[in-house]
Amino acid sequence: MSKICITGGTGLIGKRLTELLSAQGHEVIILSRSPKSGSAGVTYAQWNVEQQMIDAEAVRKCDAVIHLAGAGVAEKRWTAKRKQEILKSRTQSSTLLLKALREDKGNVSTILSASAIGWYGPDRADGKPFVESDNAYSDFLGETCLQWE
């Protein structure tokens, strides 16, 4: 089976994904600010986006990287400070991860990075579905997705 590195592996989606991948026999490495002892098939490696620190060796050992890290958009009120946290947690974590992989990708052959439907904004008045080529909506979430991607 594959060795898979997950950022945001302790979050809402990451926890469940880790359980599923581990149950399927994959080895999972969770990048975390607070590494701890893992369970069978799950280990933790250090990373700290604010300090621009990543255990690049742990990442290079993986066949795939799933990037889910980012401050939760529904956890706190959107003050100016919180909006900066939401934006920076996504853009800086992506930059740090890609920098490490550009220096030496090791075994990594696949990168999956989560995004958000916030790119599109509210439903259209005409009821037509959005398509991938649509521009980012010009609000906070749309602009965040644009900078993040």
134 assigned to some structural domain: no
Could you tell me how far CA 101 lies from the centroid of its own chain? Answer: 15
pLDDT of residue 97: 94
139 DSSP 8-state letter? S
pLDDT of residue 4: 98
28 assigned to some structural domain: yes
Give percent of the chain with pLDDT exceeding 90. 62
116, with CB counted inside 10 A (0-12, 13-18, 19+), is middle
> Mean pLDDT over all residues of the chain?
90
Confidence of residue 132 (pLDDT cuts 50, 70, 90): confident
147 assigned to some structural domain: no
pTM: 0.86
76 assigned to some structural domain: yes
Looking at the structure of the chain, the number of domains it has is 1
- Span 131-141, mean pLDDT? 83
Task: Calculate the alpha carbon distances from 54 to 58, 67, 94 in Å.
Answer: 9, 13, 12
38 assigned to some structural domain: yes
State which residues form the domain around 59. 3-114
82 assigned to some structural domain: yes
Which residues have CB under 8 Å from 35's CB, separation 6+? 44, 45, 46
58 assigned to some structural domain: yes
Window from 20-29, 30-39, 100-109 with minimum mean pLDDT: 30-39
H or E segment to which residue 43 belongs: strand 42-48
99 assigned to some structural domain: yes
Confidence of residue 90 (pLDDT cuts 50, 70, 90): very high
Which residues have CB under 8 Å from 5's CB, separation 6+? 28, 29, 30, 31, 45, 58, 59, 62, 64, 65, 66, 108
Q: Using CA atoms, how far apart are residues 26 and 50, in angstroms rounded to an integer?
A: 29
CATH number for position 71: 3.40.50.720
Q: Which of 27, 6, 1, 25 is nearest to 17 (CA)?
A: 6
